[in-house]
């Protein structure tokens, strides 16, 4: 889910940038996870053919966007029902308090 989150919400679409955004994840593990997410239909690998080098960008598929929405809903659930574990002030949050306008639009798009 961290890869889906970073690609979808933070626009981190290059291998080296993903490696930096996921501290402690070895490059071999990241490469394996990206290939598996592509195989499972969550990510698309886009190759920009520059001479040299070849540049690869990752993007979410429709399935990946739907998975990101599920993650957003799970986070919102925790922010409401487990606020004592999530927030220092232990105050439950509503979705509009957690997500920006753009996040809310992504969540509700095509529904």
Complete DSSP assignment for 39-85: HTTSEEEEEEE-SSPEEEEEEE-HHHHHHHHHHHHHHHHHHHHSHHH
pLDDT at residue 111 in the model:
52
pLDDT at residue 92 in the model:
94
pLDDT tens-digit profile, the chain (111 residues): 899 989 988 889 999 999 999 999 999 999 999 999 999 999 999 998 877 788 999 999 999 999 999 998 999 999 999 999 999 999 999 888 888 887 788 777 765
**Are 15 and 31 spatial neighbours (Cβ–Cβ below 8 Å)?**
yes
Q: What is the pTM of this model?
A: 0.79
CA torsion sign, 28 to 12 to 61 to 45?
negative
Give residue limits of the domains in the chain: 2-60, 69-108
CATH code for the domain defined by 2-60:
1.10.10.10
């Amino acid at each position: 889910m961290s890869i889906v989150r970073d690609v979808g919400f933070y626009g981190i679409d290059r291998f080296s940038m993903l490696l930096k955004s996921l501290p402690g994840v070895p490059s071999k593990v990241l490469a394996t996870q990206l290939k598996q997410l592509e195989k499972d239909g969550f990510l698309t690998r886009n190759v920009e053919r520059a001479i040299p080098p070849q540049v690869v960008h990752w993007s979410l598929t429709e399935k990946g966007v739907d998975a990101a929405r599920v993650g957003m809903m799970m986070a919102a659930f925790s922010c409401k029902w487990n606020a004592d574990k999530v927030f220092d002030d232990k105050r439950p949050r509503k979705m509009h308090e957690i997500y920006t306008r753009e996040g809310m639009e992504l969540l509700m798009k095509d529904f």
